[in-house]
Amino acid sequence: MGDRTGTRILRTVYTFFLGALIALFVGLGVATVHPGPKAPEASPALVAAQQTRELTPAEQQQWTDHLRDRDVWEERSVRHSRDVGVVTLIGSVLLLVLSLLVERRGQVLADGILLGGLFTLLHSVVRSLISQDTLVTFGVVTVALALVLYVGYRRFVDRPTEAGERSDTAPVVVSRNGKDPSHR
């Protein structure tokens, strides 16, 4: 394996690792700042009693309370997923904008940040789907689609060249006689 091939492989691995680490950083940061609700747990004795015999009226009341607490937890968990989906969407937007800003300074770094933004965007879409709020999910998916199209266009179609020109601009063609562009 030549030096160039090794460097290319190392850059690819670094870009992927940086992207995964950035997405993990955002996900853990959100979980640290905005932790999800704790799931209620029934006492092990009550669970064992429910599986082996008929519950007493007092145990039946405890079980009913546990199921009510579980329903409240599920509702809070759904709202939490919606909030996390929106917050990580904002984080992914910032990362994708940052990747466009650092593109001229270092391609490997910009690609890693771009990949991290895309992974974070995927996390946002998944958390929005978990929330079961179709309006929020549709909004997140709409923003995700617009972002991916815009960033893809900027990075791969309308890419600036070394001289600062856009790659999609047509070069000026001068004819052989210098006057008529139809004689190329």
Q: What are phi and psi of 179, to 5 degrees?
A: -120, -50
**How far is it, in rounded angstroms, from Cα 93 to Cα 99?**
10
Does residue 40 register a pLDDT over 90? Answer: no
Does residue 136 register a pLDDT over 80? Answer: yes
**Can you tell me the mean pLDDT for 125-149?**
89
Q: What is the pTM of this model?
A: 0.72
Locate 44 and state its tokens.
């092990």
User: Over the stretch 41-82, which tens digit does the pLDDT of each residue have?
Assistant: 878 877 777 778 887 888 888 888 888 999 999 999 999 999
